[in-house]
Protein backbone atom coordinates (compact mmCIF):
# COMPACT_ATOMS: atom_id res chain seq x y z
CA UNK A 1 0.00 0.00 0.00
CA UNK A 2 1.54 3.26 -1.11
CA UNK A 3 -0.73 5.53 0.87
CA UNK A 4 -0.51 5.63 4.63
CA UNK A 5 -2.49 7.02 7.50
CA UNK A 6 -1.90 10.75 7.88
CA UNK A 7 -1.08 11.32 4.20
CA UNK A 8 -2.69 14.19 2.37
CA UNK A 9 -4.47 13.03 -0.74
CA UNK A 10 -6.58 14.54 -3.47
CA UNK A 11 -9.60 12.83 -4.94
CA UNK A 12 -9.39 12.33 -8.70
CA UNK A 13 -12.87 11.19 -9.64
CA UNK A 14 -16.47 11.50 -8.59
CA UNK A 15 -18.33 14.31 -6.91
CA UNK A 16 -15.45 15.20 -4.58
CA UNK A 17 -12.93 15.43 -7.42
CA UNK A 18 -10.26 18.00 -6.68
CA UNK A 19 -10.86 18.06 -2.95
CA UNK A 20 -8.11 17.20 -0.53
CA UNK A 21 -8.09 15.57 2.85
CA UNK A 22 -6.05 13.63 5.33
CA UNK A 23 -6.21 9.85 5.42
CA UNK A 24 -7.63 8.66 8.70
CA UNK A 25 -7.79 4.94 8.11
CA UNK A 26 -6.34 2.55 5.57
CA UNK A 27 -8.13 -0.67 4.75
CA UNK A 28 -5.34 -2.74 3.25
CA UNK A 29 -7.45 -5.72 2.30
CA UNK A 30 -10.15 -3.66 0.61
CA UNK A 31 -7.64 -1.20 -0.89
CA UNK A 32 -9.70 1.70 0.34
CA UNK A 33 -9.08 4.78 2.47
CA UNK A 34 -11.22 6.69 4.88
CA UNK A 35 -10.87 10.46 4.57
CA UNK A 36 -12.97 12.47 7.03
CA UNK A 37 -15.36 14.84 5.30
CA UNK A 38 -14.83 13.37 1.86
CA UNK A 39 -16.77 10.83 -0.19
CA UNK A 40 -19.70 11.24 2.16
CA UNK A 41 -23.10 9.81 1.72
CA UNK A 42 -26.37 10.41 3.47
CA UNK A 43 -28.14 7.64 5.22
CA UNK A 44 -31.82 7.96 5.93
CA UNK A 45 -32.77 6.25 9.14
CA UNK A 46 -36.36 5.34 9.70
CA UNK A 47 -38.17 6.37 12.85
CA UNK A 48 -37.41 3.93 15.64
CA UNK A 49 -40.77 4.28 17.37
CA UNK A 50 -41.96 6.80 19.95
CA UNK A 51 -39.56 9.63 20.71
CA UNK A 52 -37.08 8.51 18.08
CA UNK A 53 -37.84 10.27 14.83
CA UNK A 54 -36.12 9.33 11.62
CA UNK A 55 -33.02 11.23 10.73
CA UNK A 56 -30.55 11.74 7.94
CA UNK A 57 -27.00 10.85 8.87
CA UNK A 58 -23.97 12.00 6.94
CA UNK A 59 -21.32 9.31 6.90
CA UNK A 60 -17.87 8.98 5.41
CA UNK A 61 -17.49 6.18 2.93
CA UNK A 62 -14.10 4.62 2.22
CA UNK A 63 -12.77 5.47 -1.23
CA UNK A 64 -10.66 3.26 -3.50
CA UNK A 65 -6.95 3.96 -3.42
CA UNK A 66 -6.96 4.16 -7.21
CA UNK A 67 -9.24 7.19 -7.05
CA UNK A 68 -6.87 9.37 -5.05
CA UNK A 69 -3.43 10.83 -5.60
CA UNK A 70 -0.89 11.64 -2.95
CA UNK A 71 -0.14 15.31 -2.34
CA UNK A 72 3.55 15.82 -1.67
CA UNK A 73 4.23 17.70 1.55
CA UNK A 74 7.29 19.37 0.00
CA UNK A 75 6.32 20.43 -3.49
CA UNK A 76 2.52 20.41 -2.94
CA UNK A 77 2.02 18.67 -6.25
CA UNK A 78 0.00 15.59 -6.96
CA UNK A 79 2.49 12.84 -7.26
CA UNK A 80 3.12 9.14 -7.39
CA UNK A 81 5.13 7.34 -4.79
CA UNK A 82 8.58 6.00 -5.53
CA UNK A 83 10.94 4.17 -3.23
CA UNK A 84 14.57 4.31 -2.32
CA UNK A 85 16.48 2.08 0.02
CA UNK A 86 18.62 3.24 2.92
CA UNK A 87 20.24 0.56 5.05
CA UNK A 88 17.74 -1.97 3.72
CA UNK A 89 14.88 0.26 4.78
CA UNK A 90 12.32 1.28 2.23
CA UNK A 91 11.73 5.01 2.15
CA UNK A 92 8.91 6.57 0.19
CA UNK A 93 9.90 9.40 -2.08
CA UNK A 94 8.01 11.89 -4.20
CA UNK A 95 8.47 11.12 -7.91
CA UNK A 96 8.28 14.82 -8.72
CA UNK A 97 10.78 16.37 -6.32
CA UNK A 98 12.52 13.32 -4.83
CA UNK A 99 11.76 14.42 -1.27
CA UNK A 100 11.21 11.76 1.36
CA UNK A 101 7.61 11.35 2.30
Residues that bind Zn ion (CB under 5 A): 72, 74-75, 94, 96-97, 99
User: How far apart are CB 12 and Zn ion at their closest, in Å?
Assistant: 17
User: How far apart are CB 38 and Zn ion at their closest, in Å?
Assistant: 22
**Among residues 91 and 99, whose Cβ is nearest to Zn ion?**
99
User: How far apart are CB 3 and Zn ion at their closest, in Å?
Assistant: 15
**Among residues 63 and 94, whose Cβ is nearest to Zn ion?**
94
Helix or strand run (H / E) with residue 70: strand 68-71
CA 58 from chain centre, in angstroms, equals: 17
Amino acid sequence: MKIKKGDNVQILTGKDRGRQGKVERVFVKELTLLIPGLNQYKKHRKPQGEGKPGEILTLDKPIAVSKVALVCTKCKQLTRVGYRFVDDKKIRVCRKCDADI
